Amino acid sequence: MTTTQFIGAARLLTRILGAILLLNAGLAAQAAGILEITGATDRPNILLLVADDLGYSDLGAYGSEIATPSLDALAESGVSFTNFHAAPTCSPTRAMLLTGVDHHLAGLGNMKELMAENQAGQPGYEGHLNERVVTVARLLRDSGYRTYMAGKWHLGRGPGLLPRDRGFERTFAMLEGSGNHFSNKGILPFRSTSFVSNGEPVERPDGYSTDLFTDKLIEILEADRGDGRPFFAYAAYTAPHWPLQAPDEDIEPYEDAYQSGWDELRARRFEQMKRLGLIREELTLPPHWPGVPTWDSLTPEEQRIQARKMAVYAAMVTNMDRNIGRLIAYLRRSGQLDNTLIVFLSDNGADGADLETRLPAGMSRLQLSVYRTWLWLKFDNSLANLGREDSFFSYGLPWAEVGSTPLFLYKGVVSEGGTRVPLIMSFPGKIPAATRSEALCSVMDLPAAFLELAGVSHPGNRYGERDIHPIQGRSLMPLAEGRSENVYADDRPLGFELIGNGALIRGDWKIMRINEHFSDGKWRLFNLKDDPRELRDLSKQNPDRLAEMQRLYRTYAEEHGVIELPPDYFDNW
């Protein structure tokens, strides 16, 4: 036997053994009554890519000037969604993304960091992914998939709560919601970030966060390549979440890009979105959000600082895009790209926090004082140093308004600017290229799509020996493949609630209540088809519709165990 023949025979044997292992894993799970496998054994890989706090218009394919060639090419090869919704903040979205179940049932009814006293520990408010849901990673692993994760977890820490405990076979994860992008410094005084690899604590290796997570995921993918089993890989990036930091070489191309300011940039994005067909031609640029000054009202020094902040943000997005390109290139080199569904989304809208004037929500006045002192003592936010490891800043309301173009408000709010995010799905030969969907859909619909592709049925109300919530999302695959124009019927409502903010969408209509900290807490009614910017409150013209949708929202809140905030919740904000 020649060397070439020997290698060929070895590869064939490896694939046969892999298929046997996959079949045995699936049969064992079926025998235990855990799941039903309905598809063929030659199943596709799934690569799930998540950005952290990326705004709706921050990709080239969605109207941005930021260089994102890898994601733009992904959009050209697949379908882009323009009416896709996440939760208003990160951990609730991630809970729904991995389970297909509303975050109030999955354990993140509120973010752990913002939990009210009357919520903490109540069903659905455990502050971590609870045992009444099963992750798509677990179901895919039961069916024979390899399951991998690298990046931000933010769904629990401690025994039984790590990625390894929730279905991921090989992992490299940061447990906190965010941290320094160059080191293990945390975002709060006296706290560092925690990393685990395959369930065990590890020291953070050197490297910029997005580069590091990509390196680790490629390393994990390569370790099992050729074993004949498909993979589900979850790349959970922490970019472009604050603190805004990026390598100097990524910032340099944007040094002069934002000197003209946010007014001009927002107008340019708005017109580019029209040219791309993302918004209707007759729409006009909305007025500034409350609290956003005009660029010309700033001093020259303030303009230079603000332009630098946006340059660092853009550098983070471009760096992430390049790393996504590395993952795609790896799949191409290894011969796996043509059999891989690639999904990209942001976990919520652009973040309007400004760490110098509008500090993180939920802190008491004493905590804010300590926080400001810590920032002043530990970090150098001089103009020349912005973006480096020892700087610590975010970009604030005006640039977040640009990121949300043309939508209203930002992360943390149930407005379209807080919940409507980019979604791209690409699968050569299965999803038509260069297509777009305007259908209403939700992050809960992605797990159902992954299970459909893998030929796996969700177990319903029971997984093994425990009761669970059935999956609530509906598969996006018919929509992505052009087999259907809708996921939700016009009369099926989609509810939202977080931090006292509530909303419900049914068809083209939406009601929204923004809490007293951000607004007046009154219910308003919008037609999103005519007014995606949420400028015109139609509640007085349509009182019956408002009342009916309020009734539907109350039903949503009751069925999902929503616990309202106490009256004094915002007193110290």
Which residues participate in catalysis according to the annotation?
Answer: 90, 154
Instruction: Identify any residues that bridge with 201 across adjacent strands, giving them in sequence order.
Output: 196
Q: Which residues contact 290 (CB under 8 A, 6 or more apart)?
A: none
Rounded distance between C-alpha atoms, residue 548 and residue 144, angstroms = 46
Tell me: cis bond preceding 243? Omega within 30 of 0 counts: yes
Instruction: Identify any residues that bridge with 345 across adjacent strands, giving them in sequence order.
Output: 50, 423
Concatenate the DSSP letters of all residues of 190-245 into one string.
T-B--EEETTEEEPPPSS-HHHHHHHHHHHHHHHTTTSS--EEEEEE--TTPSS--
Contacts of the segment 126-131: beta carbons below 8 A, 24+ positions apart: 127/156, 128/155, 128/156, 128/157, 128/161, 129/95, 129/98, 129/99, 129/155, 129/156, 129/161, 129/166, 130/106, 131/466, 131/468
Q: Of the candidates 513, 243, 510, which has an alpha carbon nearest to the alpha carbon of residue 386?
A: 243
Rounded distance between C-alpha atoms, residue 22 and residue 3, angstroms = 28
* Alpha-carbon distances of 568 from 6, 118, 499, 516, 573, rounded to whole Å: 73, 12, 13, 11, 10
User: 514-542 burial, b for 16+ CB within 10 Å, e for fewer?
Assistant: bbebbbeeebbbbbbeebbbbeeebbeee
Rounded distance between C-alpha atoms, residue 340 and residue 170, angstroms = 19
Helix (H, G, I), strand (E, B) or coil at 523: strand
Helix (H, G, I), strand (E, B) or coil at 521: coil
Start-to-end Cα distance in the chain:
75
Q: Of the candidates 427, 232, 425, which has an alpha carbon nearest to the alpha carbon of residue 338?
A: 427
